[in-house]
Amino acid sequence: MSQLAQLIPYLTPYEKPFYFIILGVLFIPSILLSLNGKRMMWYQNFLTIFFLWISFGGPNSKQGLALIAYMIWQTLLTAIYFKYRQKDNKSSVFYLAVLLNLLPMFIIKLSPFFGSQSILAFLGYSYLTFKSVQVVMEIRDGILKEFNIKYYIQFLIFFPTISSGPIDRYRRFLKDYLNPPDKEKYVELLQKGIHYIFLGLLYKFIIGYVLGSQLLPTVQGFALGGTAPVLGTIGYMYVYSFYLFFDFAGYSLFAVGTSYLLGYETPMNFNKPFISPNIKEFWNRWHITLSFWFRDYVYMRLMFTLLKKKVFKSRVVASNVGYFGLFLLMGLWHGLTWYYIVYGIYHALLICINDAWLRYKKKHKDKLPSNRWTHALAIFITFNAVCFSFLIFSGFLDTLIKQFILV
């Protein structure tokens, strides 16, 4: 048994093609059962433990221990808050529960400023935090009437999505967990799941590889070499933008496809974002589950509070303040560096400009043309505005400043 275990390498989820070979072999019993409209939970639990073990065991065992500690913390916290919420509903207790939910992430994010990597860090901690905060907020809203620790743990450690999302919703996951698809439905999921995994292989291991490992260093060399810094930077902007999409969309497709093979309809995370005609549409197509999470659990709640307490008389002003708060938070979540913060502010500014333009367009719709050419122009402008934001996000401008200005 120990010899067999030695043959299985420790792997980050979807990191290497061999991960998919293991996935394909171990999924055979699950697929055969699902084709008969059944789900054997003990086998799904075995798959969960096995894939968490190869991702968080061996050289990553510190991360594994951090994951266990995190799960105990969040489960106890959420269970205690649920019990409290059955009796009372004080805002102070709710905010305290959310802050305690976020505490591990705060510690992990701030640790580098104190010269060390937190022992609490593990792969995917942000995504688990989004999930756990979501549950507490829905308990506060009275949407979640029941809390089952077993279901909650299954939701958090659902291994196909643990490393990079998509960020599923507890109620949606529970619906799939408690209602395995019948034979006909599963055949449909199986076909889609295989399709998504192969599409992810194309995105991640072919297109993403060529862009990230071949083209990106080339344009970076042009920019930093001093021969063509402007053209090199522009080239870097476009190559990096496409690399970011294909790499991340590839991971998301793996997670969605693997979920489908298990009979779970995990939501899609990308939907042709580069053909968006405006920045709002872009955020409805890019990293969709994260965008909607911030919309539902940050922006809408912030807007409700601002309007309810009449902090601003104008709804437009309140909305713009909400956008800046939202995207600043999103930027800070990516990291505590100037370019992530500027990235967030830049997107907030784009959305405010977009809203102002839509209001102007509505008032002057009889004077402004609206046809396929204006639609194409809108896509072109949005695409370039987004690519510039990814240039900021990449941190490459920081490298350029240090290379050419701070010398």
The residues annotated as belonging to the active site are 334
CA-nearest of 376, 402, 127 to 266 is 127
Phi, psi (degrees; rounded to nearest 5) at 368:
-105, 135
- DSSP symbol at 52: H
To the nearest 10 degrees (0 to 180), the angle between helices 372-394 and 229-261 is 100
- On the question of a cis peptide bond just before residue 229, with omega within 30 degrees of 0, the verdict is no
DSSP track, 136-151: HHHHHHT------HHH
Q: Measure Cα distances from 310 to 235, 302, 304, 352 in Å.
A: 47, 12, 10, 20
Instruction: Please spell the DSSP secondary structure of 334-403, one letter per residue.
Output: H-SSHHHHHHHHHHHHHHHHHHHHHHHHHHTTTTS--SHHHHHHHHHHHHHHHHHHHHHHHTHHHHHHHH
- CA–CA distance from 196 to each of 159, 252, 260, 266 (Å)? 17, 9, 9, 12
Report in angstroms the alpha-carbon separations of 129 from 42, 102, 333, 348, 389.
26, 7, 11, 24, 26
Q: Evaluate whether 151 touches 358 at the Cβ level (below 8 Å).
A: no
Q: How far is CA 220 from CA 205, 207, 216, 246, 401, in A?
A: 21, 18, 6, 19, 14
Residue that has been written with the tokens 């420790």 in this structure: 10
Name the nearest CA neighbour of 63 among 118, 100, 21: 118
Report the C-alpha gap between 240 and 61 in whole angstroms.
33
Contact 5, 53 (CB under 8 A): no
What are the CA-CA distances from residue 323 to residues 287, 319, 343 (Å)? 17, 6, 13
